[in-house]
Amino acid sequence: MSNENQWEYDYSSLYKNSSGNDTGYANVGSSGTNAANQYNADGGSTPPPADPEFHPVPNPEEPPRKHRIRPGRVLRSVVALVLVAAVGFGGGYVGSMVGNNHRLVIQSSDRSEQISDALASSTSTGGDDLSTAQVAALVTPSVVPITTEAVIYSNWSWFGQRQVESGAGSGVIISDDGYILTCAHVVDGASNVTVTVGDTDYTATVVGSDTASDVAVLKIDAEGLTPAVVGDSDALAVGESVMAVGNPLGNLSGTVTNGIISALNRDVSIQSNDGSVLNLTLIQTNASISPGNSGGGLFNMAGELVGVVNAKSEDSGAEGLGFAIPINTAISIAQDLLENGYVSGRPYLGITYVAVTDESTAQQLGVNTYGIYVVDVVSGSGADKAGLQPGDRIVSIDGSEIASRDDVTAIIDQHTAGDTISITVARDGQMVTVSATLGEQTPKNNQ
């Protein structure tokens, strides 16, 4: 595995073209649609014939453009992070998305009998500042181990093989009737999810899972559980003491590690189970984080849940670089998943696109310029109504140059459904600018 891809899983095959050459890009990107590996203007499966005299040029003559800006990525730290669920399988089965019949009620437990020696000082969220031992005793009943199973079929042998692979992570109880908050990458791809509360194992239902935010909600058939008290991650301060609780290595449930808030609003990129890159804004902490901690809680010294642990640095030269999803973000996503079955308001353009970064791919697609090409337009989408066509090379969006697949996603993700964006494409040697109104991304159009 190369130094540029220091993840828990090997995704190198996604970054090779049909000739086995490393392109530096995944072969196909999409904006809410199924990706396609090849483009043929006639709709067939055979790629256009290669021109033996073909010599692609990186940049043809184009009209002057605005200064290149990558919205949402200017301050983004490219950190080699690994999602910290101890998982041995990739994404696929996500569980059942159930909308319109669940309502999450965040419960504030009466802790007067639990807290016997609160100190006079307070944390950023206004709660009582307790000792490490007091916080540990208070919050550990709310953090549970999660184990998963996925059925993997391999066809490398003559007869094929059916293999069950297991994984592990953590979760935080957020209601006394069995709703549990965890990370999407803990349960994505699992055919069976088990939550252990005390000495009892419960089969869990994945009520909702959102890969883009790495948040998932589970439900178990149980009553009288101890929910975590939800704090305010927006009120956290750098240097504030915190505690991480989880299930490191998948068999050490209830493990407590302490540290501080090292940084807030840290923009990082993390490679997910399916090889896509998650761009997240996270809390950074130096509390010890290990595989299996994903989905566990990050608590302040009032015993309030302020984050959901999800990643750590895999760089051998780095220490104390753990990350957590801010609880305000996680709860908002969870509520949307429970009410709608998906995260509402996310923009949807309706195109599939490919990065052409090498001569072999360019020849395969029959183009003579490197860049980002539209390979499919969804009928009735904003892109379709704007007049985008397969074969268009995306030059800029909202005046910002498009040089990679991530540039498209970064700009679109700054908008919400209903916004109008300006897209300039190269088509038949001409520059064409269109206005596209973004739709809403739903499970149906995002398949």
Catalytic residue numbers? Answer: 185, 214, 294
Q: Six-digit token pair at 65?
A: 């453009």
Contact 332, 343 (CB under 8 A): no
Length of the chain: 447
